[in-house]
Amino acid sequence: MFRKTLKKDPELFQNVSEGLRKLYRTKLFPLEDTYRFHDFHSPALEDADFDNKPMVLLVGQYSTGKTTFIRHLMEQDFPGMRIGPEPTTDSFIAVMHGEQDGVIPGNALVVDPKKPFRKLNAFGNAFLNRFMCAQMPNPVLESISIIDTPGILSGEKQRISRGYDFAAVLEWFAERVDRIILLFDAHKLDISDEFSEVIRALKNHEDKMRVVLNKADQISTQQLMRVYGALMWSLGKIINTPEVVRVYIGSFWAQPLLVPDNRKLFEAEEQDLFLDIQSLPRNAALRKLNDLIKRARLAKVQAYIISSLKKEMPSVFGKDSKKKELIANLGEIYQKIEKEHQISPGDFPKLEKMQELLNGQDFTKFASLKPKLLESVEDMLANDIARLMAMVRQEESAMPSQVVKGGAFEGTMTGPFGHGYGEGASEGIDELEWVVGRDKPTYDEIFYTLSPINGKVSGNAAKKEMLKSKLPNTVLGKIWKLADVDKDGYLDDEEFALANHLIKVKLEGHELPASLPEHLVPPSKRGIALQE
């Protein structure tokens, strides 16, 4: 009894990466290995998979601006970079941080234990000759790595074989990256068969997927609306889910806008995309945890499928015919497992792909069900993962400043070209005069019709006037709190003007500040605001 209690004591981990690595090696890997998970789904994970920086995978048809997008983010050329209207990038290029500029060829890259690419060896020489790592000292690459991919071909060109399974390579990367960015060209929006196949191969990773509609400055607003609608319709058909993938519209390069009408939209979209990419280092541990849970669920299903097939096999005669019968009836086996073990249909691998892979397997060598292996994974999901989740939060709070820095990310952070600078509540931030003073004469006229007493209007009188804006009470309540600077429950002429200014800010579609910015504090109240 005493020994059993000792065994159940929770294991202590130094950090999340170490915890994930140990759990994988001791609890999940034995299950994967026993039931041939690596032959059917994905190669075993290596130590580098748990320690590597967040990775961003760029996918798109040729000439959609993938390589230019990377150059735009880093504001620097990278070794091996080629840009042109024809299919120029014919290789997978992992753009990573290094002390000196240089290129590591694919065959050398897959034997480096510090890089997370060793299992790509399985795709053979045809792929490895088209794979390399570009290293360079760039501040953006200190936080993330970027994978540039060959342009996906359209029309006749796609029939030329690449010599390796392009969709399978992309799926391998998709499992390990933190963000997948699909790039589309706004003025040639044809989605080729190969691109459709690629998007379907990435279907299990929709949570990582973002879409960029690039070169949107080359068409008018009306055309852009049509193109955006056509893109959403096409993606809906390919991905075949009711949830909409987030689409960022813009022109992601450092050149003047050809049609500048939508400049504000492009700036807001670029800012949103940059914030999404900047958050990756902070959420990297959580992503790895999430991916391990997904992998564990699939490994459990794999164990049930393989053991069910083993159980059905005859011990002596008729093995081949029984194998064919089992493969043909795999859908029924799925349903049986689903009911018996209460597994969601979404956790099962694709039926056609599984049937194809089973054809080349010897069913007699499959392992029967080993409850201890499954219990170990169940314990990992029920207990160990919960403890690691708490550690993720602790690590995040200990390192709140983990964001991508440098390159294009610096230009939009501060100064007059920062996103939203001088707009909404920030209007007048760098002016000497109080910005509310411009419209104060108009607000004063309304103020004096409310019969102020001792130079102030009551909350009730101000409320009647503020309600004319038709803004909800929750918003007007916040405006009141911001405008009543001295917190006396009344508004003087300056505070009343400030309240109206904030109403105007909100009606123009901007957000209200959490606290009153210094430049909006009424001149007569600046001492009070500073004391608070």
pLDDT tens, position by position, 252-272: 887 787 888 888 888 889 889
Q: Is 283 within a domain?
A: no
- Decide if pLDDT at 36 tops 80: yes
Strands (E), 192-296: 209-214, 247-249
Query: Does residue 382 share a domain with residue 501?
Result: no
One DSSP character per residue, 143-199 reads T-EEEE-PPBP-GGGGGS--SS-HHHHHHHHHHH-SEEEEEEETT-----HHHHHHH
Mean pLDDT to the nearest integer, 13-30: 87
d(CA 55, CA 373): 32
Q: What is the CATH number of the domain that holds 232?
A: 3.40.50.300
Query: Does residue 239 share a domain with residue 305?
Result: no
Query: Does residue 391 share a domain with residue 327?
Result: yes
Q: What is the CATH number of the domain that holds 32?
A: 1.10.268.20
Q: Which of 260, 278, 309 is the last residue of a domain?
A: 260
Cβ proximity of 50 and 171 under 8 Å: no
How many structural domains are present in the chain? 3
d(CA 14, CA 70): 35
The pLDDT, as a whole number, for residue 287 is 85
Query: Does residue 244 share a domain with residue 98?
Result: yes
Query: Does residue 252 share a domain with residue 177?
Result: yes
Cβ proximity of 468 and 474 under 8 Å: no
pLDDT tens, position by position, 82-112: 765 555 557 899 999 999 899 999 999 999 8
The pLDDT, as a whole number, for residue 416 is 54
pLDDT tens, position by position, 387-427: 888 888 777 776 656 677 777 777 555 555 565 666 777 88
- Decide if pLDDT at 209 tops 80: yes
Two tokens, residue 193: 């068969």
One DSSP character per residue, 354-395 reads HHHHHTTS-GGGSPPP-HHHHHHHHHIIIIIHHHHHHHHHHH
Residue with tokens 């299990």: 204
User: Looking at beta carbons, which pairs linking 474-477 to residues 24 or more positions away fall under 8 Å?
Assistant: 475/506, 475/512, 476/503
Q: Is 271 within a domain?
A: no
d(CA 503, CA 510): 10
Q: What is the CATH number of the domain that holds 487?
A: 1.10.238.10
- Decide if pLDDT at 48 tops 70: yes
Mean pLDDT to the nearest integer, 294-315: 89
pTM of the full predicted structure?
0.74
**Domain coverage including residue 382:** 16-46+291-398
Query: Does residue 439 share a domain with residue 352?
Result: no
d(CA 302, CA 38): 10
Mean pLDDT to the nearest integer, 500-518: 89
Q: Which amino acid is at 422?
A: G
* Mean pLDDT for all residues in the chain: 84
Query: Does residue 303 share a domain with residue 224?
Result: no
The pLDDT, as a whole number, for residue 530 is 43
Which residue, among 166, 94, 99, 75, has the nearest Cα to 134 in the 3D structure? Answer: 94
- Decide if pLDDT at 280 tops 80: yes
- Decide if pLDDT at 116 tops 70: yes
Query: Does residue 429 share a domain with residue 388?
Result: no
The pLDDT, as a whole number, for residue 362 is 85
Q: How confident is the model at residue 2 (pLDDT cuts 50, 70, 90)?
A: very low
Query: Does residue 239 share a domain with residue 100?
Result: yes
Query: Does residue 372 share a domain with residue 428?
Result: no
